[in-house]
Amino acid sequence: MSQKIKFPSTSGSDFYTTIRSRVDQFFIQNQLSQHANVHMWGKTIFFLAGFIGIYLVIITSLFPAGMLLLLAAVLGMFSAFVGFNVCHDAIHGALSGNKKVNKAFGFIFNLIGANPYVWNITHNVVHHSYTNIPGHDEDIEVAPGLIRIAREGTVNSIQKYQHWYAFPLYSLASLSWVFRKDYVKFFKKKIGARQSKHPKVEYFNLFFYKALYYFLFIILPLLVMDISWWQFLIGFMFLHIAEGLTMGLVFQLAHVVEDTTFPIPNENGRMEEAWAEHQMRTTANFATDNKFAAFFLGGLNRQIEHHLFPKVCHIHYGEISIIVKKTAIEFNLPYIENKSFLSALHSHFLTLKKFSKEANC
């Protein structure tokens, strides 16, 4: 990416000024912190205890092989849930008002195989700044060349089947993260528009904590569990297929559905709309009335609120969504939402299919 993207000044956005003021007033009037409350800390304990507990049950081989295989898949899902609910908020600085607390809980990202430093750049900086802008938002670049979700993407004949093979590819997301993605991003010349000049300590952190993950999830199980290498491999694959599919679907349903757009800058690199208005057109909510989704997905089913207020803990998104939706309607801006997980999944499938037809021409 060589072109630098520029949005119109935020100060000129009446929508963003209004919505910021209203949300700030909500917290002031209700005497609430924008960070974690008692409920959120309870969720944090639940997910971390579940993650550690399931890992220990597997590693001690307390159950038959079939049950251990099922637990491996559950551990994969809990790995994603820890990322969604704990690490994501912490790395955004939304979990606590204390930077050291956020850093400590963000560190846990290493234990699910991902590097928090690389994530902060690719997600917090690049994705949140350039949401759904082809060639700039690296979070929507899933298997480039194989999956095409914007008209600017490269077209090839295999993509005519992408609405069928995309979902199996999503299940490989966490395997790619653990063994490939972080290394590739870290050693690229640029991540987004940002030059890849990293502090020396981050080189150590990348390799040391990757090695720690490989020890905990590959070497130690092979050393202490009474299983063969092929049984371990099946269990390891089950873990990561469950984790990858959970992550892949949640991220895709928030940005790659029928009504979201993929705006491109003009020849000077300028976007037509201000950043906040851009977020409203490129981001979608789903299953917002589903209590299961609200608990397990860490607010990622309320991506609109998250993108506008990334430093607000997700535990508050349900309450501020009323303000966000009302203000969007006032300013004649879309508030894109799919009422259920299945309707969002269907919308994503249709989006993939739409671009597959172009590849079929």
Count of structural domains, the chain:
1
Q: What is the pLDDT of residue 192?
A: 60
2 lies in a domain?
no
* pLDDT at site 361: 53
* Spans of the chain below 50 pLDDT: 1
Question: How many angstroms separate the CA atoms of 199 and 32, rounded?
Answer: 36
What's the residue count for the chain? 361
Between CA 56 and CA 63 the distance in angstroms is: 12
Q: Residues with Cβ < 8 Å from 248, sequence gap 6 or more?
A: 142, 167, 169, 170, 171, 173
Continuous segment of H or E residues that includes residue 338: strand 337-338
Nearest Cα neighbor of 210 from 248, 184, 234, 188 is: 184
Per-residue confidence (pLDDT) for residue 148, from 0 to 100: 80
Q: Is residue 163 part of a domain?
A: yes
User: Within a domain: residue 5?
Assistant: no
Contact 226, 68 (CB under 8 A): no
CA distance 313 to 291: 17
Q: What kind and span of H or E run contains 195?
A: strand 194-195
pLDDT at 113: 93
Tell whether 1 is covered by a domain.
Answer: no
pLDDT of residue 1: 46
| Predicted local distance difference test score (pLDDT) of residue 329 | 97
Determine the structural domain holding residue 292 and report its residue range: 10-359
